Amino acid sequence: MGIVNVTPDSFAESTRTFDPEAAIEAALRAEDDGADIVDIGAESTRPGAPPVDADEERRRLLPVVRGLAGRIRIPISVDTYKADVAREALRDGAAMVNDVSGLQRDAALADVVAQAGAALVLTHTRGTSADMYARAHYADLVAEVTSELRTSVQSAVERGVPLDAVLVDPGIGFAKRPEHSYGVLARLPEIAAALGRPLVAGPSRKSFLRAASGDRDAPDRDWATAAAVTAAVLGGAHIVRVHAVAEMIQVIRTAEEIRRMVHRP
């Protein structure tokens, strides 16, 4: 899953793609580089990021979705937790909604996804960008993450989203301190087994990587990202969300070959 940010304050990129035409070109380039899905986000979800209202999110997001519809061959995912924004994006050509709130911010999002027959990614988090780190306390990391994700999945299904349209993301970097994010990566097989749904992992360029690689700016964390992506694939992730598609394709394909050989004689 190639990331395309349509925000003026993305934490992970040295250049911003706030301009719709630049974002469209970035998405098409991600496809050419080997992405299977492109994920377009118009509101930063980094810790401490200010919220964006629905009108502004539409203004940033929808021209990109419309510009890609009919031009891109891979599915378009939109990174939003707002039902009204998702409804228009799905109408305009998106096929998936990536909800970083796990239906905590706008439960009606599940109704929109169900009506559109779209796919839904539910991410584990607590609180909002402003207070997520204050809520990063776990007595049993895996048990709590899986229990809270299970509640999100149940909510989606109860509102009409077919279970086979639901994917789960354990939320690396969301309401988690570095030790929690590394713990999630290390124990992905347990999380996958407990939830029984396809797993999405998004470690790309996140700040938890500084605990091992040093105080580097986000665009300089691709080597650390490569290690985390390898761990995610070996741990059973079905989709890995990345910024540097061309580089991470090599990492992912190599890790896939290793994983494929694990159970062979």
Strand partners, 206: none
Structure confidence at residue 18 as a pLDDT band (50, 70, 90): low
How far is 65 from 79, CA to CA, in rounded Å?
Answer: 12
Per-residue pLDDT tens digits for 207-234 = 999 999 999 999 999 999 999 999 999 9
Residue 171 maps to which CATH number?
3.20.20.20
How far is 153 from 138, CA to CA, in rounded Å?
Answer: 21
pLDDT value of residue 14: 44
Mean pLDDT of 242-252: 97
pLDDT value of residue 50: 80
Please identify which of the residues 241, 259, 260, 264 carries the catalytic annotation: 241
Q: Are strands 76-79 and 96-99 parallel, antiparallel or unpaired?
A: parallel
pLDDT value of residue 15: 43
pLDDT value of residue 49: 73
Q: Residue 240 pLDDT more than 50?
A: yes
8 Å CB contact between 1 and 36: yes
Phi (first) and psi of residue 12, to 5 degrees? -105, 0
8 Å CB contact between 242 and 251: no
How far is 128 from 149, CA to CA, in rounded Å?
Answer: 16
Mean pLDDT of 191-196: 96
Number of structural domains (the chain) is 1
- Tokens representing 78 are 């939109």
Residue 82 known to be catalytic: no
Residue 206 known to be catalytic: yes
3-state SS string for the chain: CEEEECCCCCCCCCCCCCCHHHHHHHHHHHHHHCCCCEEEECCCCCCCCCCCCHHHHHHHHHHHHHHHCCCCCCCEEEECCCHHHHHHHHHCCCCEEEECCCCCCCCCHHHHHHHHCCEEEEECCCCCCCCCHHHCCCCCHHHHHHHHHHHHHHHHHHCCCCHHHEEEECCCCCCCCHHHHHHHHHCHHHHHHHHCCCEEECCCCCHHHHHHHCCCCHHHCHHHHHHHHHHHHHCCCCEECECCHHHHHHHHHHHHHHHHHCCCC
Domain hosting 198: range is 2-261
Please identify which of the residues 197, 206, 216, 260 carries the catalytic annotation: 206
- Tokens representing 222 are 């691709």
- Burial (CB count within 10 angstroms: exposed 0-12, middle 13-18, buried 19+), residue 153: buried
Q: Which amino acid is at 229?
A: V
pLDDT value of residue 13: 56
Per-residue pLDDT tens digits for 157-167 = 999 999 999 99
pLDDT value of residue 9: 58
